[in-house]
Amino acid sequence: MEMRGVGEKERVCVTGAGGFVASWLVKFLLQKGYIVHGTVRDPCDKKNAHLKEFENAPENLQLFKADLLDYEGLCAAIAGCSGVFHVACPVPAGTVANPEVDMIEPAVVGTRNVLNTCLKAKAKRVVVVSSIAAVMNNPKWPKDHTMDEECWSDRDFCKTTKKYYSLAKTIAESEAFEYAKRGELDIVTVCPSNVIGTMLQPTINSSSLLLLSMLKDGHESLENKNRHLVDVRDVAEAIMLVFEKPEAKGRYICTSYAMKVQVFANKLKGMYPNYNHTKSFTEVDDSGKLSSEKLQDLGWKYRPLEESIVDSVTNYQERGFLLKE
Q: Are 129 and 87 in contact (CB under 8 A)?
A: yes
User: Rounded to an integer, what distance in angstroms lies between the CA atom of residue 197 and that of residue 181?
Assistant: 35
3-state secondary structure of 185: coil
* Of residues 186, 315, 239, the one with CA closest to residue 22: 239
User: Rounded to an integer, what distance in angstroms lies between the CA atom of residue 41 and that of residue 21?
Assistant: 16
* Rounded (to 5) percent helix, strand, coil in the chain: 40, 15, 40
Spell out the residues 6+ positions from residue 226 whose beta carbon is closer than 8 angstroms to its own: 258, 259, 260, 261, 286, 287, 288, 289
Q: Are 132 and 228 in contact (CB under 8 A)?
A: yes
Query: Which residues are annotated as catalytic?
Result: 169
Burial of 122 by CB count in 10 Å (0-12 exposed, 13-18 middle, 19+ buried)?
Answer: exposed
* Of residues 91, 115, 87, 95, the one with CA closest to residue 103: 91
* Of residues 28, 62, 57, 56, the one with CA closest to residue 237: 28
Q: Bridge-partner residues for 282, per DSSP?
A: 223
Sign of torsion over alpha carbons 87, 88, 93, 94: negative
Q: Bridge-partner residues for 63, per DSSP?
A: 38
* Of residues 138, 134, 135, 117, the one with CA closest to residue 126: 117
